[in-house]
Amino acid sequence: MAENSLKQKTKRGLYWKFAEQFSNYGVQFVIGIILARLLSPSDYGITALPSVFIAIAAVFTSAGFSDALVRKPELKEEDLSTTFLYSLGVGTLCYVILFFASPWIADFYNTPVLRPLMRVTALTFLITPIGTPQNVLLKRKLDFKTPAKISVVVKILSGVVGISLAYYGYGVWALVLSGLFATVVGLVITMSIVRWLPKTGWAKESFSYLWGFGNKMMASALLDTIYRNITPIIVGKFFSTADLGVYNRARQYAAMPSQQIHSVVREVSFPVLSKLQNDTERLIIHYRTMIKVSAFVVFPIMMLMSALARPLIITMITEKWIDCVILLQLICFSMMWYPVHALNLNILTVCGRTDLFLKLEFIKKGWGLLVLCCSLPFGLVVFCAAGIVSSIVSVYINTWYTGKFYGFGFKEQMKDLLPIICLGLMMFVSVLGISYLIPSLFLQIVVGTAVGAIIYIGGAYLFKFQEIEEVLFLLNRK
């Protein structure tokens, strides 16, 4: 594939994925503010309690097969049909297990409403697998425009449903039913556009290939899912549901920009880099550029959100969520590294080294559990602060093999990212200082955002950051 052609396809893919994610971000942000005003921290805490069980079941349903299909040089109809049958079968099994396990989970948390809540939430496992092949076909074509449009429409419609239910007093069910509605509508629209239906049956050869690639990805995802949901389990069990709701709200706000961009980078970079898996030199050039541009965009957004956390929280969702502020400020600095994590792991997946991917996950999660056990007993503030150190150490772990195989490890990446970090911190300190001088919360947000943008963008031009040119190229739609 010609260099210019691939670059243009990468650009279009990033454009549409960013359009999707930021449109979703905007819609979700507005809807989240309205729901947070209508619902209580406890409502959010209750929906977070069973998240680990739902997330684990989702890992078994996907099994890493989608990435295997995207990466495969020649895709056969048997591959799609086998994936469809596997996902639907495992999804049905997961639903049955969660259906009968819901009473025990409700008893564990001493929250009776979890019994019907889980049974309704788990219905997604009977729905989501049906759309897996359609999404794979769109990714292989590097068609990110169609999913972007579908996602925005679904977000708006489900948001209207959620707000309506919350307004009429359905409480926690507003969150659950709007999520289920989004799953159903998203599937219907996707199937009406892609129009794929299984044409063959189960193929042993296809399953062998898919399982050979996907089993390590599934193990990695399972490990990551359990690790990420350990905190809600512990907080939900030993703290109040209000504490869990506050923590989850802070994490969700921090996740909006960081994980949305992380999702963009992950979704676009994997199929793009897969095209270069046999051209190491070009692969590393694209990979390095993606890391620098991702950090150039993500780091200042997260630092600005951290600096303006207090006026943002109070203005958007009122004083009843004030405990979110310090947690949000800290989580922003740990989650800003997500795109860097994603790209370093993507390069291993692209090259088919899922065994190394899994190995790194075991090492990282062991380190993360140590941090969790040592910090969480001291409270959520200490835990979130420790998460910053944990995230940076995890970057070092993730860059081990990229340094060993491609000469672009932790030291080289930090050297590339250091100017961006320094400029971002300069902006952070300036905005934080200004916010203490302005009494109006609204003006703190407006003035702080303007000053932050001037300092960061002006500094990038002054010091001639190369990433400016890459961002301008992406912004130019020609």
Greatest CA span in the chain, whole angstroms?
A: 68
| Strand, helix or coil for residue 259 | helix
Residue 477 has pLDDT above 60, yes or no: no
- Token pair belonging to 162: 């959620």
DSSP assignment letter at 239: S
Residues 102, 118: contact at Cβ < 8 Å?
yes
Q: Where are the domains of the chain?
A: 39-237, 239-478
pLDDT score recorded for residue 8: 62
* Mean pLDDT along residues 415-436: 94
CA distance 322 to 232: 20
pLDDT score recorded for residue 15: 59
Percent of the residues in the chain that have a pLDDT greater than 70, as a whole number:
81
Query: Which of 301, 230, 235 lies closest to 53, judged by CA?
Result: 230
Give exposure, 199-220, as e/b (b: 16+ Cβ within 10 Å).
eeeebeebbebbbebbbbbbbb
Q: How many helices (H) and strands (E) does the chain have?
A: 22, 0
What spatial distance separates the first Cα and last Cα of the chain, rounded to whole Å? Answer: 20
At 322-347, the pLDDT tens digits run 888 999 999 999 989 988 887 887 77
pLDDT band at 182 (very low <50, low <70, confident <90, very high): confident
At 244-284, the pLDDT tens digits run 778 888 888 888 777 667 666 666 666 666 666 667 777 77
DSSP string, 357-408: HHHHHHHHHHHHHHHHHHHGGG-HHHHHHHHHHHHHHHHHHHTHHHHHHHS-
* Mean pLDDT along residues 227-249: 73
Q: What is the C-alpha radius of gyration for the chain, rounded to an integer number of angstroms?
A: 22
CA distance 406 to 403: 5
CA distance 56 to 52: 6
* Range with the largest mean pLDDT of 14-18, 125-129, 258-262, 459-463: 459-463
Averaged pLDDT score across all residues of the chain: 80
- Token pair belonging to 67: 């990435």
- Token pair belonging to 200: 């063959």
Percent of the residues in the chain that have a pLDDT greater than 90, as a whole number:
18
Residue keyed to tokens 């007993």? 377
At 95-151, the pLDDT tens digits run 898 899 888 888 877 778 888 888 888 888 888 878 878 887 887 777 777 877 888
- 319-to-40, 310, 311, 313 alpha-carbon distances in Å: 12, 10, 10, 8
Residue 13 has pLDDT above 70, yes or no: no
Residues 427, 304: contact at Cβ < 8 Å?
yes
Amino acid letter for position 198: P
Angle, CA 138 vertex, CA 293 and CA 264 arms, to 5°: 20
pLDDT score recorded for residue 1: 45
Query: Which of 412, 263, 425 lies closest to 346, judged by CA?
Result: 263
pLDDT higher at 35 or 76? 76
At 284-306, the pLDDT tens digits run 787 788 888 889 988 999 999 99
- 152-to-48, 140, 180, 358 alpha-carbon distances in Å: 24, 21, 16, 33
Residue 424 has pLDDT above 80, yes or no: yes
